[in-house]
Structure 1
Amino acid sequence: EGNKFNKNKEVLSMRWIRLFRSQDAFARVMLINLAVLSLLIIWSPWVFAGTTGKISGVVTDSETGLHIPGARVVIEGTTMGAMVDPIDGSYVILNVPPGTYTLVGECIGYNKMTVKEVLVRANITTEQNFELVSEAIKVGDITVIAERPDIDKYEVSTVDRISAEEIESLPVTNIEGVIKTQTGFVSEGGALHVRGSRAGELAFVDDGVLIRDQLGGYGGVNISGDEVTPISRLSMNVSASDVEDISIMKGNYSAEYGDCAGGLVTTQRKEGSNKITTVYAQLLTDDMGSPGLNKYSFNQDRFDLSISGPLPLISNQLFPALGLKWPGENMAYYGSFSVDKYDGFVDYNDFDSPRSKIDYGSEKFLGIEIPNRRVNKYSGLMKLTWKIDPNSRYKLNLRYSKDWDRARDFNFGFLYVPENAQVLKSSREIKSARFSFNPPFLKDTFGELLLSEVIQTYERKPGGLTPSNFYVPIKGWESYYDANDNGQWDPAEYFEDLNGDGIWGEPYVDLNANGRFDVDVDSLIDLNGNGVWDPEPFEDSNGNGVWDPAEVINNDVYYIDVNGNGIYDDEDSTYLDQDGNGNGIYDPQLSDIYNIDEPEPYIDGDYSWGEPFTDVNGNGVYDPPYDSMGTIIIVDIWEPINDLDHNGQYTGPDDPWSEGIPYTDYNQNGRYDAPNGRYDYGEPFTDVNGNGRWDPTDQFYDAGFDRWAQYHYDYTRTRTLKLDMTSQISRNHGLKSGFEFKFHRIEYQDLQYPYNKYDGPADTINTDKNGPWWGIERAIEVSDLDGDGIPETVTGTEVYSKGTFRDFYVRTPKDGAFYIEDNMEYGEMIANVGVRYEFFIQAREVKDSVTLSYEGLSDRRIIDSQQRWAPRIGFSFPISEKAKLFFNYGHFYQRPGFVKYYQRATQASNAFTVIGNPNLDYEKTIQYEVGVQYAISEGYRLDVSGFYKDQYGLLNTVPEELSSRSTEMQQNIDYARARGLEFEFLKRYGQFLAGSIKYEYTWAYGKSSSDRSDYYIRFAGGEIAIKENPLDWDIRHQLTASASFSVIKGEHPHFGIFKLPDDWSLNLIWLYKSGRPFTPGDNYPGLSLRRNESPIINSKRMPANSTVDVKFDKNFQVYNMNYTFSILVNNIFDYNNVDDVYSSTGMANTDVNYNGQIYTGLPRHNNPAHYTSGRQIMLGLSVQF
């Protein structure tokens, strides 16, 4: 029996070993994760969630100072509370949503004590002690206002926490505006950088749900070069009125959070009350009602609406009607909707040219036609909150929200063809269920289970076109013959077709094929019997007195007759001499190829009429008496009397002009100007773009698209299972730990240079769960969703023959994490010590052998998974009641965006390609911070901190040989570092005034500022940098000064002899930032270079930026409804802040540099996107009841 047992044990062990060594990465990683989870469970069964806070303190006797056994502390108006520990007199209330509360401390034999305005914030401890007075002392119940300590001893790092009340007073409308008012953040190229980090390293946690650009793009508002792109995958258009609390973490943060290496912003959305219904509405507009008053208008209207309260019908009507009792408290709801429409500080319609005017269309809402603007943002939210038991031990939160944005890029190059600029669409949909539990059998323990799904889409369409609208040159370019030289294609003039034959005029037989009716020559079909040919009534559009047919499409295009058949064949050339799409009209969007920039038509020189003659044969030109062979022909009559220039021979319009020959003086300068091949001032021209001047090739597109036109669509879905719990196991230790698993699905479509013919490998996409490949013809994706071998969905468009750079794939990777952290409190010292274990499991599609062969990676081993441990520690040590020291150190890992893993080799043969690398590692950041807080006096505080950040394994490209083809592949090869000092002087609210001054000195250096910089350098034949240089977002000095002057209701302060009204506030924010660096051009003024020497990267600086924003609010009541009238002024001093410059001049409005001398630039150089927004004045009215 013993031998049999040992044998079975050995077999079982071998099975586990084989499983561990198997190619199934998911099974192997799950074994590791289960082992880690088991250790965490043995160590601590407690996990903590960062969406709520906690209240703690001690209850003592006011006379003796001893703790009071049997006392309790409750939150007024709720069932939440805690009994005092009989040993040390401490209490802890867990799972408290952020907000302001009233606490009540009571015990038999003592007077009750009430503390109002106790502020609770997410993931932080609020300390509130009670000193109860014995009933023997007849003082009655005591009520006090909670004092907020100037020093928060529980904070171990630099965190900016902003409450709902503070958000309401700021001159912002959404949380992106709140973030940009903080030091440490730099907006560059459309992305936010945190303390020197690269773009994309900032993440958001919205009601416990991580929001991150999983593909690896930029977040926030995009302002880059010619483009002002107002939306991206990570835009957070969250209304400020929806937010209860914001925490902005720039330094170290809890081990609970991961997959972001730069910074973290957590937001807690408001919840509804289960007792009262509240309605809030606000309208903001910068439309003052007349053009004269709209000088500082961006044509913006924003509307916010929220309704909250007890959910009607269910608990108080439906259940009682069924004879049932609703368990727990009434369910509460919070619903909100926001719409924000604006044209922005730059818009095509702001320019005078009629060619730049564009109609953005409209949308219908409840049957009402609502005009669109250049940017249109919508947001909706619904939250349900249910406290399942009377003691609030179990709570369920359900949430559904959706944001969707529609916009058109402002690209200065498309000023005269705005209809061809990029059209952008994005959406984000969040569904979550969060179950909180505090079971009575686990003392001082609280847990939270979160299930969530985040779906994000992002789409870019050049000119609003999809791939089916793109015409490769062999199938679609169109041009036309501009017969009247007006710079545009003219269709046939309208005529009244009396006889219904579709031909202008009465029918006739054109015997001599000259295109017109000749009397007594052609055979006339005399419809009305009048003996003459009659035209039909027509509309003379151009006023030339004759009916004009449509201008000939493509009649002016030359081609090479390859087969010599005398006609045009498709294969003869890359251009057509026919209507490309066969619709019978000229389509500007299909005109020619990229970068169409043509001079406006003009009349070159004056027109010479030549000498008079008798046109005998009526052909309109003078015919000499002899032909080229000397034979006498029909002679036009020219008489010596008409020899106006006295040269003894006929002088025609095409001969050199001589004195005496009549001419038309077009520029009216009194002399004849011969054609000289260039435009001279005063010559007549066709003002195609309507700007009032003649334009040569002016770098503005006249038709078509730029060569980098791009169609893009992506879809990402992330499903998350997350469990968090916490337990205050003793007064000294609060353990928290948890785990999360994420399941991703990515659908990616990208087509660049869409009007180029594609000659690369055919697209195939593996989406079948059973493993077989579906051969994808013409890049149409077929998805087998349930794995039964039958495709359920077909998506995509016919794009097989189009584009130079192409990317089409579906991938399903997974990742997750475990963490554990101990929050220790020993005396005055606070310590947070934790560790996070992160893992990534490669998408199964990438490991398929067909995929590897197809991508040229068959000789490479694909790593199944990646794992990393990230330790975090933080200490806070109050050295007195007025001062504390803090220190933190942490490792932070971030998985690269999935595009960097999966970008494919489906690119044309002439492309200088970049492909993804499925074996990428995590990007790693090591950061530590040390600081001090000092309370100068009551209400005044000084904070000083310094940080040190190193980043390893950042992405860039390296040359690779795949299937005998040179390419560039992503690798973890770059390094960067940042150092900085922060100073903050804070004045808390006192008599009317509060404010702060924040200053940060930072420098950010690294090998490169982009994960493609080496690719571009090698493409241009340059030299790869081997030393560190300032990064593109290296702003050395940042200063933020804010002041808030507030008068509460009932107070009337005096200003000199004037008595001011009550219930109003005035808030100001001044933002100052020194200039970003840029790399000068070779001919930059004053720059001296040796032979073959390149300018030093980012060795010059742009000008500094300064902005002052102001907000004024006046509150009043009418019929028990609270109103607020607001005035919001952004950039009140209208500073013209530079955001981008030309490398050859260092200036924002000119690129003209001749031999080091800078001259006034061309109109194209004065790009408004090179500046930030100017002054904007908005008026607002809100109501709440």
Structure 2
Amino acid sequence: MISIIKLFFGLTRSINMSKKNILLVIFISCNMVFAGETGKMVGKVTDATTGDPLIGVNVVIKGTALGAATDENGDFIILNIPAKTFIVSASYIGYKTTTMTDVRVNADRTTTVNFSLEVSAVEGEEVIVEAERHVIVRDQTATTTTIEEEDFENMPINSYADILDNVVGVIENDNGGGDDGIHIRGGRSGETAYLVDGFYVKNIMSGGMATDVARGGISELSIITGAFNAEYGQAMSGIINIITQEGGAEYDVNFRASTDKLYNSWDSGRLEGTVSGPVIPTIPQFATFFISADRHHTNGRHKYLELPWAVLKVDENGDGVYNAGESWTDDVNDTYDYGEAFLDDNGNDMWDHAVYDTSGNLVTAAESWTDVANGIYDIGEEYEDTNGDGIRNGDVYALADIDGDGIAEPLKKGAREVTATYNWTDRVMGKLVLRPIDNLKITFGTNIQNNESRGFSMNYRQLPERNAVYWQESNLMYGKLNYTFSENMFATVKVSKYRVENWSGPKIEGEKFLNDDHELYSKQFEIPSDWDNSILDAGTEFDWLSYYAEPYNDVDQDGAFTSGTDEYEDLNGDGKYSWGVFTNLREGDAYDNTSNYEFYGSYPIVNNAGDTIRFGHSTYHNYSNDRFNTTQLEGTFTWQVNKAHQVKTGILTKQHDLFNFYGSYIGGGYYGTSSDPSFILWEKKPEEQSFFFQDKMELKDLVVNLGLRYDKLDPKSFFADPTLNLGYRYDGETYETSDLTAIPFSAFEDGLVEWGYINDDGTFSPPDNASVKKFWSPRIGIGYPVTENTAFHFNYGQFIKYPDYNYMYDYSNSNGIAIGGVIDGYSGNGETFANLMGNSMYPFPFNLGDWYIPPVGSPNIKPEKSVQYEFGLRTLLTPEYFFTLTMFYNDRYDYISANIYDADPTEYAVYENMDYGNSKGFEIGLSKLFTNNFSWEIFYSFSKAEGNTANETSHWYEAYYSSVYGTHPVHRTITMAWDQPHTLNLKFDYRHPRGYGVNVLGNIGSGLPYTPTDARGRNIDDENSGRMPYTAMFDAKAFYDLQIKNMANVRIYMDVTNLFDRKNVVNVFNSTGKPDESLNPNNSPMWIYRPYYYSAPRHIELGISVGLR
């Protein structure tokens, strides 16, 4: 757990304005109340001499319009306080005014502030004290980690994501186990909810957080790893809640900049700025603003790669193929050898063994092959083991024409490989707060993030600039109206618009290669004679598809648009012909004779006579574009009924507009002028509603948080049923899928053909709509303070999460791909129309024909569910040392997985609720509180994450491997790919009064699992039964603060990641369990060298920040 409090025990500082030193003891404690963005303050004011309560004392939070008067018992309550640090004063006639500084209010918590006022002999006397915070949170009912704005300044972190690895209970994996990402207490990566200012900002289509907040705009970050209360929904493992800053009564300007140019530069740089204050200086409480923006650019750790071996050499014998380092016998051995020709019966691009049932009876015969001496080494043939290592060593020779001059260059050890990776991120956060009348607060806010990046690819190492580029744009805009009816009651109405859009594909001349319409046009032309070959016949009609190319009349019949000759339709009105896929988009794989297609580049395109027609270029040829718009409306009502009960209730509705496009193999073809693309294209508009009620009961020795939540989802879509016989209906007649040719083209063009299912009696039934999903979730948390220095807590809850919407609608092609319309004059039959639409089963709204057993989304799947238990103990061992123990148990049900059906007319899979997971463990922590200028924390956690499958596609791959290798899935729980049994989280914080300090964060964890396999990839042990080496990562920040004439605060700092430059292994080859060795003899050294199998090396950024006040 990261420390959420700065603790000063045995010390109370006081400043008497009449220069009298008075010791005033003030107690402040925090506890968890409700989800949201604000906190509550309660307390008692008494006479310092008699201890009697004072009635009518005015308690005010300075810089705000918030305050309260004490009742007949001296108690006060202030609700609806923003999460930040305040100054609070208590004033009463005849008593000295007491002002308390550094009072921190956290979201979802109650801060207790008790005042003892002394009689004043002179009017206007004031006592100023610094608040202290008790370690034992009296009414804590769940494990929560809170990071405040000051922590962000002192820790080596630049975003919310940087801190997660150092939160106890949080694991991040990148080991290729099928569910990489952030995991909280053993759950899958998609089980966490992300909120900004109370609004959900998760990527509802594919999971993860879809936006980020500028570092300077964060007031507070809360991570709930225990059972959370009823206001939170759509999460099964944890909550990450970000509260942004608000402007104050005074102007505040901050700048921050850093660079890594001085050491191991990745061309990284950061620029940040914040400005805040009153809109009208003379009326500071009427309106305030806060604006924060930052930009981060880097080429990443893969910018330059120093090659570890002399792996690339010229082809010495000039035969153009790999030559083995060890000799072998090229024999006919009556067994299938890897590399020999075979008949691929099921189209899975590999030779399949015979399949037998458990009784040894033949189920499926092995595919036939040609047993020949084929001139290359085939797995299974005898070889000379020169070095005695038990394996045949792969070839060390490869061809690489790096500069494109037609001559292969040698590349020696230590040479640098340029990868063209980069990442640009811009983040902007803004907030405007209006208080036009008493008791009314209106807030307008926005949070924007734009990102563009290109990652590292093994396939495009030699032409990295042709690898895919990824773009993301997200924008949250919201408004909130908060009205306080009385000191004990307030209501909030919130409305938001959240938009996220993602693209991926090649970047052409600095621009994205997709437009918003995703139009596909068709043009028929005659094959030229010099293109005649075994695939294309000269003189025949050829259907040319070009992705977003405006239709034209091919006057010169050359099969391509010719400027000045061919007539075209200017659809986008730009006055020029708009090209689709350039003819140099990936027409094939360069260096086909090299291992694993590792070398891409320029290569000749030849005709059957061997003449070079032109040169082709390898380019990423898959495109995607998805977006969603979510409109959210929410209302909550909070009532402090009495001292023992605070009731909160709320209702929420969300309307989604989802769009997804994916196209593969666009712009391919034998000569690069044709295309045989495969498409996914759909648009859906599901709706969600929820309601919650919760009551916090604060009794004398017990605190109970009791809540109930209701969730409802309407997918608003039909679903595919593989158990029924697919068919069509047109003009009152029923047609099988094989009868598309009997339906006229015009019937499809006019939308007169229905899809559905043919019953056993031959009648037709339309598809069913997915059912509306409804679920109730009870939750309870109990806090029990035994003494002032020891407390227990317990919680129980049921939680649900809707699967990501891609799992509900994936592989849909309900819109077709000819959005721009079919070109006039195109004719044919139903089959022709279906092919034109990119879906051979159109109007069946799922594209099955272009994919191998596609896992089709199902909007009929139920929400996934978890049941959690947690027990915790917290005790103050001494005034300086704090101990915690937490135990947890979590069952997860109705996990979704792709289940394969032998459906008619083709085999496909459907996502269904069928899996289970479980996690359990304990967490132990010991902290030295901040005294003598330093503090430290050490947390150890033991956990076990198990389940019957690793991810949503596990059952699909079990069936696939069964057909390939003859293996059978195990029917028992397995270890999850993110299971890390032993984890240590450490923190050290040193701050000297003279302004310099050091902060270190550390994480040490046992190795993550992998599945041992043989050289062909067949499992030789249980799934995830192997373990990688342990990992250790330490990050540090060193800083020095100085003030310039009370005008500016300046900080010079250094951020260091991977302080000890440890080469942590994050992934391995399954055949060896090592990151740099594979048993597959066809893998060359260059293919084995994978820098992303290791963590990033040491990286240093130097920076400066300036604050003007």
Which TM-score applies when normalising by structure 2? Answer: 0.71
1:959 and 1:859 mapped to 2: Cα distance? 23
Distance change >3 Å, CA 1002–CA 474, structure 1 → 2: farther
Deviations, residues 298-335 of structure 1 (Å, cap 9, x unaligned)? 210111111111225xx86xxxxxxxxx8x93311111
| Aligned amino acid, residue 882 of structure 1 | N
Following TM superposition, by how much is the alpha carbon of 1:878 offset from its aligned partner in structure 2, in angstroms? Answer: 0.7
Distance change >3 Å, CA 456–CA 109, structure 1 → 2: same
Q: Alignment partner of 2:190: what SS?
A: coil
Moved more, 902-911 or 892-901: 902-911
| Aligned amino acid, residue 1038 of structure 2 | F
Distance change >3 Å, CA 70–CA 1175, structure 1 → 2: same
Distance change >3 Å, CA 472–CA 1008, structure 1 → 2: farther
2:211 and 2:783 mapped to 1: Cα distance? 32
Matched, 1:252 2:227: yes
2:57 and 2:484 mapped to 1: Cα distance? 21
Q: Alignment partner of 2:959: what SS?
A: helix
Residue aligning to 2:92: 107
Deviations, residues 1053-1106 of structure 1 (Å, cap 9, x unaligned)? xxxxxxxxx211111111112111010103599xxxxxx985210000111111
1:298 and 1:1113 mapped to 2: Cα distance? 22
Following TM superposition, by how much is the alpha carbon of 1:212 offset from its aligned partner in structure 2, in angstroms? Answer: 1.1
Residue aligning to 2:441: 395
Residue aligning to 1:15: none
Following TM superposition, by how much is the alpha carbon of 1:726 offset from its aligned partner in structure 2, in angstroms? Answer: 1.4
Residue aligning to 1:1181: 1104
Following TM superposition, by how much is the alpha carbon of 1:141 offset from its aligned partner in structure 2, in angstroms? Answer: 4.0
Deviations, residues 1092-1124 of structure 1 (Å, cap 9, x unaligned)? 985210000111111111111111233522211
The 8 Å contact of residues 652 and 691 in structure 2, kept in 1 or not, is answered as yes
Matched, 1:448 2:371: no
Greater share of residues in strand: 2
| Aligned amino acid, residue 246 of structure 2 | E
Following TM superposition, by how much is the alpha carbon of 1:235 offset from its aligned partner in structure 2, in angstroms? Answer: 4.8
Q: Alignment partner of 1:166: what SS?
A: helix
Matched, 1:195 2:190: no
Residue aligning to 1:814: 687
1:596 and 1:978 mapped to 2: Cα distance? 47
The 8 Å contact of residues 994 and 1043 in structure 1, kept in 2 or not, is answered as yes
1:177 and 1:205 mapped to 2: Cα distance? 17
2:600 and 2:946 mapped to 1: Cα distance? 52
Matched, 1:731 2:643: yes
Q: 1:79 aligns with which of 61, 65, 90?
A: 65
2:878 and 2:268 mapped to 1: Cα distance? 44
The 8 Å contact of residues 1031 and 1098 in structure 1, kept in 2 or not, is answered as yes
Q: Alignment partner of 2:235: what SS?
A: coil
The 5-angstrom pairing of residues 844-923 of structure 1 reads 854=755, 861-903=768-810, 904=812, 905-908=846-849, 911-923=852-864
Q: 1:1067 aligns with which of 978, 996, 999?
A: 999
Distance change >3 Å, CA 51–CA 402, structure 1 → 2: same
Distance change >3 Å, CA 48–CA 949, structure 1 → 2: closer
The 5-angstrom pairing of residues 89-104 of structure 1 reads 89-104=74-89
| Aligned amino acid, residue 1103 of structure 1 | P
Q: Alignment partner of 1:168: what SS?
A: helix
Q: 1:1100 aligns with which of 985, 1003, 1026?
A: 1026
Following TM superposition, by how much is the alpha carbon of 1:61 offset from its aligned partner in structure 2, in angstroms? Answer: 2.8
Matched, 1:926 2:867: yes
CA RMSD of aligned residues (A): 3.9
Residue aligning to 1:989: 930
Residue aligning to 1:184: 169
| Aligned amino acid, residue 1073 of structure 2 | G
| Aligned amino acid, residue 1043 of structure 1 | F
The 5-angstrom pairing of residues 700-719 of structure 1 reads 704=618, 710-719=622-631
The 8 Å contact of residues 1066 and 1113 in structure 1, kept in 2 or not, is answered as yes
Aligned pairs, number: 846
Distance change >3 Å, CA 734–CA 573, structure 1 → 2: closer
2:915 and 2:890 mapped to 1: Cα distance? 14
Following TM superposition, by how much is the alpha carbon of 1:928 offset from its aligned partner in structure 2, in angstroms? Answer: 0.8
The 8 Å contact of residues 171 and 182 in structure 2, kept in 1 or not, is answered as yes
1:968 and 1:561 mapped to 2: Cα distance? 33
Residue aligning to 1:160: 145
Residue aligning to 1:285: 259
Residue aligning to 1:204: 194
Distance change >3 Å, CA 937–CA 139, structure 1 → 2: farther
| Aligned amino acid, residue 739 of structure 1 | I
Q: Alignment partner of 2:53: what SS?
A: coil
Distance change >3 Å, CA 907–CA 687, structure 1 → 2: closer
Residue aligning to 1:977: 918
Q: Alignment partner of 1:411: what SS?
A: coil
The 8 Å contact of residues 176 and 236 in structure 1, kept in 2 or not, is answered as no
Distance change >3 Å, CA 939–CA 916, structure 1 → 2: same
Matched, 1:461 2:505: yes
Structure 2 unmatched runs, 5+: 1-32, 175-179, 313-399, 405-419, 546-556, 564-578, 604-614, 721-727, 730-750, 759-764, 813-845
Residue aligning to 1:417: 463
1:145 and 1:843 mapped to 2: Cα distance? 56
* Aligned-residue identity in percent: 24
The 8 Å contact of residues 824 and 830 in structure 1, kept in 2 or not, is answered as yes
Q: 1:1163 aligns with which of 1077, 1080, 1086?
A: 1086
Q: 2:592 aligns with which of 593, 597, 603?
A: 597
Q: Alignment partner of 1:264: what SS?
A: strand
| Aligned amino acid, residue 379 of structure 1 | R
Residue aligning to 2:1058: 1131
Deviations, residues 942-977 of structure 1 (Å, cap 9, x unaligned)? 111011011101110112355533210000111001
Greater share of residues in helix: 1
Q: Alignment partner of 1:345: what SS?
A: coil
Distance change >3 Å, CA 1078–CA 1084, structure 1 → 2: farther
2:217 and 2:544 mapped to 1: Cα distance? 60
Residue aligning to 1:1142: 1069
The 8 Å contact of residues 893 and 922 in structure 1, kept in 2 or not, is answered as yes
Following TM superposition, by how much is the alpha carbon of 1:1129 offset from its aligned partner in structure 2, in angstroms? Answer: 1.0
The 5-angstrom pairing of residues 591-670 of structure 1 reads 592-594=587-589, 597-598=592-593
Following TM superposition, by how much is the alpha carbon of 1:1149 offset from its aligned partner in structure 2, in angstroms? Answer: 1.3
Deviations, residues 902-937 of structure 1 (Å, cap 9, x unaligned)? 122213256322211121111001111001001112
Residue aligning to 2:236: 261
Matched, 1:825 2:698: yes
Structure 1 unmatched runs, 5+: 1-46, 220-233, 289-293, 317-325, 359-371, 479-552, 601-684, 690-700, 759-798, 1049-1061, 1086-1091
Deviations, residues 628-661 of structure 1 (Å, cap 9, x unaligned)? xxxxxxxxxxxxxxxxxxxxxxxxxxxxxxxxxx
Deviations, residues 73-101 of structure 1 (Å, cap 9, x unaligned)? 22234331112121x33211111111122
Q: 2:46 aligns with which of 50, 60, 65?
A: 60
Residue aligning to 1:142: 127
Following TM superposition, by how much is the alpha carbon of 1:594 offset from its aligned partner in structure 2, in angstroms? Answer: 4.6
Residue aligning to 1:374: 422
Matched, 1:308 2:220: no
Distance change >3 Å, CA 398–CA 597, structure 1 → 2: same
Moved more, 841-850 or 244-253: 841-850
Residue aligning to 1:1027: 972
The 8 Å contact of residues 48 and 737 in structure 1, kept in 2 or not, is answered as no
Q: Alignment partner of 2:663: what SS?
A: strand
The 8 Å contact of residues 590 and 601 in structure 2, kept in 1 or not, is answered as no
| Aligned amino acid, residue 881 of structure 1 | E
Which TM-score applies when normalising by structure 1? Answer: 0.66
Distance change >3 Å, CA 1137–CA 249, structure 1 → 2: same
1:1145 and 1:579 mapped to 2: Cα distance? 53
The 8 Å contact of residues 585 and 668 in structure 2, kept in 1 or not, is answered as no
Deviations, residues 700-757 of structure 1 (Å, cap 9, x unaligned)? x995257xx5311111011111112212111111111111100110011112344678
1:260 and 1:879 mapped to 2: Cα distance? 32
2:689 and 2:600 mapped to 1: Cα distance? 64
Following TM superposition, by how much is the alpha carbon of 1:207 offset from its aligned partner in structure 2, in angstroms? Answer: 1.0
Q: Alignment partner of 1:1152: what SS?
A: coil
Following TM superposition, by how much is the alpha carbon of 1:470 offset from its aligned partner in structure 2, in angstroms? Answer: 12
